[in-house]
Amino acid sequence: MTTSDASSDQTLPVALRTEALEQLLTERGLIDPEVMNGIITHYETNVGPLNGAKVVARAWADPDYRRRLLADGTAAIKELGFSGAQGEHIVVVENTPTTHNVVVCTLCSCYPWPVLGLPPSWYKDPAYRSRVVREPRVVLSEMGLELDDDVKIVVRDSTSEVRWLVLPERPAGTEHLSEEELVPLVTRDAMVGVAKVTAS
């Protein structure tokens, strides 16, 4: 392979490189496509942000559940059937008009998989991991979230022992919505604290 060939290979989209690697590993008998499909399906349907959205919607709709969630996140989340690896100890913090929480893992990419699925690439990026601690307001602004100067920002550092989940503010104008109708409004980014939930 020439130098130009090697450099052009590096510009291939990640999806194509991943597909080529999977095909090579399958041809050599190192992975079973059925097993891989099962893992992918598990994280796309059984584990992921939809689970977290259900937790948030329940907390917005049920004050008693919200109290339990903030007192013991792991137990309250388990009430809805969400538990497992990377979710052994989840602490839930609530965003308010005066305090905004944002989550990071400064050491690696600790993340509450049972309620948020796999971490996005930006969460694992060294730039995010270092900068959001030093200049959270700037980083949030760059990600599209503008907060008033009087809003206190609290950076929560996830570890292998404790993983954080943000309970976002319920947006105005959603008082008439049912719990089921609230679920689609809640995004992964809002549960990490880099975005807010909007009514539309």
The catalytic position among 8, 108, 130, 178 is 108
178 counts as catalytic: no
The b-or-e profile of 131-147 (16+ CB within 10 A means b, else e) is: ebeeebbebbeeeebee
105 counts as catalytic: yes
Residues written for the chain: 200
The catalytic position among 4, 8, 83, 105 is 105
Which residues are CB-neighbours of 105 under 8 A, at least 6 positions away? 111, 123, 129, 157, 158, 159
The DSSP result for 154-192, as a single string, is: EEEE--SS-EEEEEPPPPTT-TT--HHHHGGG--HHHHH
108 counts as catalytic: yes
Instruction: State the Cα–Cα distance between residues 173 and 188, nearest whole angstrom.
Output: 21
Catalytic residue set: 105, 108-110
